[in-house]
Amino acid sequence: MQTPDSSPSEPRACPGPQPTQRSATRFTVPRGAVDTHAHVIGLPPDYPFVAGRSYTPPEATAASYLSMLDATGMTYGVLTQVSVHGTDNRLLVDALTANRQRLRGIAVIGLDCPEKEKAALKEAGVVGLRLNVLYGGGMGFAQLEDYASLCREMGWHLQFLIDAKDIPALASRFAKLPVPFLVDHMGHFPTSRGIKDRGFDALVGLVRDGAWVRLSGAYRTSIQGGPPYSDTIPFAQKLVAANPDRCIWGSDWPHVANWDVMMGVSDLLDLLAEWVPDETTRNHILTNNPQKLFGFPAV
C-alpha cells in the first residue's frame, strides 16, 4: 500500500492509466453494469491544481474514460470530483452534461456553495458529495452533520474517503446521519493490519447495518505491489457476506497516486471474480445495487 506525498514541495507526479483497456477474462460483464468510481482531470491553467494537493496527475479526459467503459463492457459510469481540483467542479459538470444518460457525478463543495451552483450540479447529474481526509484538496469531517443536512435537502448521499482506523471514533455520528452514506475503497487501509483490524471490523458493522461500501482500490490496500492483489480477497468477501445489497464496484480510473505496477481495469475486474465468486451476487453488485444508489435506469 502506498501513502500520498504530503510534503510542502512540488507534489510527486504520477503516471496515467494503461492506454489500451480490455474487459474481464474471468466472467462476462453484465448489461447495465456500473463503474461507480472514476475521475476526469484537466490541466492548468484552464483547470488549476490546488496548492495543497498530494500528487500531480496527468490529464484524464471524459473521452478517454468513455473509451475505457466501452472497452470493458460497462454501461454506466460515475465520476467523482478529483482532489487536485478542490471545489472547482467545472470539468466534472462538463463531462456529466455531455453524457446525461450514461454518467452521474459526486461533487466536492463548501457549505457556502451558492444555491444557484448547487442547483446546476444537480441538474448536470450530481447525486452525492464526497468528504475526503486522505488527500489534499478534500473536505474533512468537522462539519459532517451540516453536509448531511445539505445532502438531505438536495436528495443526495455522502461518500467518505477515510482510513478504517478512524471509523470507530466516527461510527456513532455515521449511524445518526439522515442520508445514505458510502465508505470508499473498503476502508483504504493496508491488508497487513489483518482481517481482525478494529477499524475494519467497525466498517463491517456499518455495512451490516445498511451503510454502502465500494469494493475498489485493491492496489491501494494490497501490500503485494501489483496484480493479482490476492491479499485483499478475505476483506472483500467479509464485506460482501455482511450485506451484499450494500456493495458496489468501482475501477478508480485513472488510478491516481499509484506509483507501483499500473494495472489494467481488466485486472481489477478479474479480481472481482475472486472477491465475489457467485455470479448472481456479483451481477447485483455490478448492476442492481449501483443503479439504485446512483439513479441509473435498469436495462
Strand order in the sheet with 247-249: 34-38, 76-80, 103-107, 126-132, 157-161, 181-183, 212-215, 247-249
Residues 6+ apart with CB under 8 A from 9: none
Q: Which of 117, 82, 84 is nearest to 10 (CA)?
A: 84
Each residue's pLDDT, cut to its tens digit, for the chain (299 residues) gives 554 444 446 899 999 999 999 999 999 999 999 999 999 999 999 999 999 899 999 999 999 999 999 999 999 999 999 999 999 999 999 999 999 999 999 999 999 999 999 999 999 999 999 999 888 777 889 999 999 999 999 999 999 999 999 999 999 999 999 999 999 999 999 999 999 999 999 999 999 999 999 999 999 999 999 999 999 999 999 999 999 999 999 999 999 999 999 999 999 999 999 999 999 999 999 999 999 999 999 98
CA–CA dist 137, 124 (Å, integer): 22
Angle of CA points 108, 159, 207, to nearest 5°: 175
Strand spans (E) along the chain: 34-38, 76-80, 103-107, 126-132, 157-161, 181-183, 212-215, 247-249
Give me the pLDDT at residue 138, please: 79
CA–CA dist 255, 79 (Å, integer): 13
Answer yes or no: are the C-beta atoms of 202 and 163 closer than 8 Å.
no
Give me the pLDDT at residue 206, please: 98
CA–CA dist 116, 260 (Å, integer): 42
Q: Which of 100, 106, 102, 60 is nearest to 87 (CA)?
A: 106
Give me the pLDDT at residue 1, please: 58
Distance of CA 183 to the CA centre of its chain: 9
- Dihedral sign of CA atoms 202, 208, 212, 218 in order: positive
Residue 159 in grid coordinates:
461518500
Q: What radius of gyration, in Å, describes the C-alpha atoms of the chain?
A: 18
Q: Which of 79, 101, 75, 102 is nearest to 283 (CA)?
A: 75
Give me the pLDDT at residue 289, please: 98
